[in-house]
Structure 1
Amino acid sequence: MLELLIAGGWVMWPILLCSAIALAIIIERFWTLRRSKVLPLDLGDEVRQWAASGRLDPKHIETLRGNSPLGAILAAALEVRHRPREQIKERVEDTGRHQLHRMERFLNTLGTIAGITPLLGLLGTVFGMIRMFLGILTHGVGDASLLAGGIGEALISTAAGLCVAIPALMFYRYFRGRIGEYIVEMEQQVIALLDTLESVPQPGSVSPTPRPRRPAAAAPGVAG
């Protein structure tokens, strides 16, 4: 392995650094974006039961906010549950943008690595070809070792760049897709919670009392 790094030239070192960063990001995102951590099982049903029974106090909501990204979004809806539905949706959207930013953490870096490592490999290829032609210019075509060294540097750096870029791009797309699925499920949970809140009578609301019907007046000329 060390011989390949040396043979690939100095471009191999930034490629190796990019591979280490990409591996760390992939492991961290796999751990952070677990379904049990983002969308805990039965959390939405439990919160809807709280809302339906009226067991909602600040301590419950604060605990829910720190539970998970889904919990933070549901807590944002419960905090303003007495407001109109449109205002609740605005608060949920604001909180959702913050949670989305957290879930997409480091993904831009992973995508950048997927984009620059092939370019680094191509740069190594260019330097390898330059080295080869300079060797031909200085020593002629009779020295095969110089030609082999330049071609080897070009091929090794290109292969290394692609070996880093392909998995990085694959996991970048995978994590973006997973986050998209989570967002859709969160929206479904929020809609279900809003429907539950609308079905629960709000404190202070008085149900309208039906007015007694007045007896119809007798038509004139009709005997009682």
Structure 2
Amino acid sequence: MFEIIKSGGWMMWPLMICSIGAMGIVAERFWTLQRKKIMPQDLVLQVWKLHRENRIDEMTLRRLKTSSPLGSIIAAGIANSAHGREMMKESIEDVGRQVTHDLERFLDALGTIAEISPLLGLLGTVFGMIEIFSELLQHGAGDPTVLAGGISVALITTATGLTVAIPSLVFHRYFLRRVDEFVINMEMEALRLIEMMHGEREAVL
């Protein structure tokens, strides 16, 4: 591995940094974007029980807000219950946008890595080809195997750039899709609970 990095030239080091950064972001997002952390399974049921027992107060709302992203969205709706259903819906959507921003943390960086890695690889190859042709101008092309070997070394950065970019792009799209699904489901759960609390929907949990 070290020999491959060494043969690829100095442009391999930025690519290695991109690779390490991408792996770190993917691991962190897998750890953070777990359904049990974003949407605790029994949270809606617990809030519904608290509402039926008339035990939702300011302290309960604060705990609910900090418990999870779903709790934050539900707390926003309940906190504005005195202002009517439309205001509650708007507050849920506002907090949903903030939650979306938080859940998409580091995804812009992952997308940037996916975009620039092939360009860095191509740039490394261009530098390598320039160096090869400079050598040819100075010493001639007496041995074709030297030229072929030089080209293969120059192409290492392109292959490395693509190797970094393809998984980064796949995981970037995957996590964006996962965040979108979480946000839509959380808003639906919050609205469903609000409607149940107002008697507009049967309390089937």
- Provide TM-score, normalisation by structure 1: 0.85
How far has the Cα of 1:152 moved from its partner? 2.6
Matched residues in 2 for 1:153 and 1:124: separation? Answer: 10
Match of 1:86 in 2: 86
Assess if the C-alpha contact under 8 Å between 2:89 and 2:191 holds in 1: no
In the alignment, the residues of structure 1 paired with residue 192 and residue 134 of structure 2 have an alpha-carbon distance, to the nearest angstrom, of 70
What's 1:32 paired with? 32
Matches within 5 A, 1:66-145: 66-144=66-144
| TM-fit CA distance, 1:149 | 4.7
- Tell me, in whole angstroms, the C-alpha distance in 1 between the residues paired with 2:173 and 2:117: 16
Equivalent runs, 1:161-176 vs 2, <5 Å:
161-176=161-176
2:152 is the alignment partner of 1:180: no
- Give the secondary structure class of the aligned counterpart of 1:199: coil
The gaps in structure 2 that reach 5 residues or longer are: 201-205
Q: Which amino acid aligns with 1:47?
A: V
Q: What is the total number of aligned residue pairs between the two structures?
A: 200
2:46 aligns with 46
Please state whether the residue corresponding to 2:155 is helix, strand or coil. Answer: helix
In 2, Cα distance between the equivalents of 1:48 and 1:182?
20
Which residue identity does 1:40 align to in structure 2? P
Max radius of gyration: which structure? 1
- Residues in 2 aligned to 1:13 and 1:150: alpha-carbon distance in whole angstroms: 19
Give CA deviations for 1:127-176 in whole Å, capped at 9, x if unaligned: 12111211111111114465245313322101110111111111111111
**Corresponding residue number in structure 2 for 1:198:** 198
Q: CA deviation at 1:60?
A: 1.1
Shift of the alpha carbon at 1:39?
Answer: 0.4
Normalising by structure 2, we get a TM-score of 0.92
> Partner letter of residue 47 of structure 2?
V
Answer yes or no: is the 8 Å Cα contact 2:114–2:164 preserved in 1. yes
Alignment map for 1:18-29 (pairs within 5 Å): 18-29=18-29
CA contact (8 A) 2:93 2:187 kept: no
* Structure 1 contact 121–160 (Cα < 8 Å) conserved: yes
Query: Larger % of helix: which?
Result: 2
In 1, the alpha carbon distance for the partners of 2:7 and 2:43 equals 55
Structure 1 unaligned residues grouped into runs of 5+: 201-224
Given residue 88 of structure 2, which amino acid in structure 1 is its aligned partner?
I
Letter in 2 for 1:84: G
Query: How much does 1:12 deviate?
Result: 0.3
Aligned identity (percent) is 49
